[in-house]
Amino acid sequence: MTALNKNPLLEQFLSEARELLEGVGQKLMQLEDAPSDQDLINELFRMVHTLKGNSGLFTFPEMTRVLHVGEDLLGKVRNGEMVFSRELADRLLDAMDFVSLLSNEIEATECIDASRAADSARLAESLRALLPEVSVSSGTAGSTPSSSKSIADTFTQLPLAEIP
């Protein structure tokens, strides 16, 4: 979907994005004082998840890419696979600053400048480096460890005996 002049959906997206970015900033600061507060972590995850989902309705891959890794990181924290640290909070704040910058750009020009693609890739990479080892080795976002296997390989590994 491309951004049209005065597209009400785009206006709604920008308004909700602003609200969510503000919320994410607040929750990140609150979490620094209470890093194990599960409700806060759940809420924070949900906000980044919503923001990512909303951005996916448009063609803003530079924004979606960064939010996707942010969501992955918070998902790990939520599931207890990663500890919420000061470093993580700082990196996520950097990511949200970038998303905020992109939002302002979209508001002004209704698109994202081509030069942002490299910044987005770099930022996503630096965020991904914070993920626990197992996830880092799985490669680029969107690919799965099984994606390189052939269908025949997968078929022989199906736990058919377990199907009732």
Partner 1 sequence: MMDGLKVKENVTAKRILIVDDAATVRMYHRGILESAGYAVEEAMNGIEALEKSLEAPFDLYVVDVNMPKLNGYGFLSELRQQENPQQPAIMVSTEAASGDEIAAYRAGANSYLIKPVQPMQLLTHTRLMLGEAPQ
Q: Which residues bind partner 1 (CB under 8 A)?
A: 8-9, 12-13, 16, 43, 46, 49-50, 52-54, 56-57
CB neighbours of 141 closer than 8 A, spacing ≥ 6?
65, 68, 69, 72, 124, 128
Cβ distance to partner 1 smaller for residue 115 or 148: 148
**Residue 55 Cβ vs partner 1, minimum distance, rounded to whole Å:** 9
Q: Which is nearer to partner 1, 122 or 149 (CB)?
A: 149
Q: How far is the CB of 58 from partner 1 (least distance, A)?
A: 9
* The two three-digit tokens of residue 139, written as one number: 């490669």
State in angstroms the smallest separation of the CB of 32 from partner 1: 22
Give which of 93, 94, 95, 69 is closest to 82, Cα–Cα.
Answer: 69
Taking the C-alpha atoms of residue 72 and residue 45, their distance in angstroms, rounded to an integer, is: 9
Pair of tokens at residue 110: 């209704």
* Cβ-based nearer residue to partner 1, 53 or 139: 53
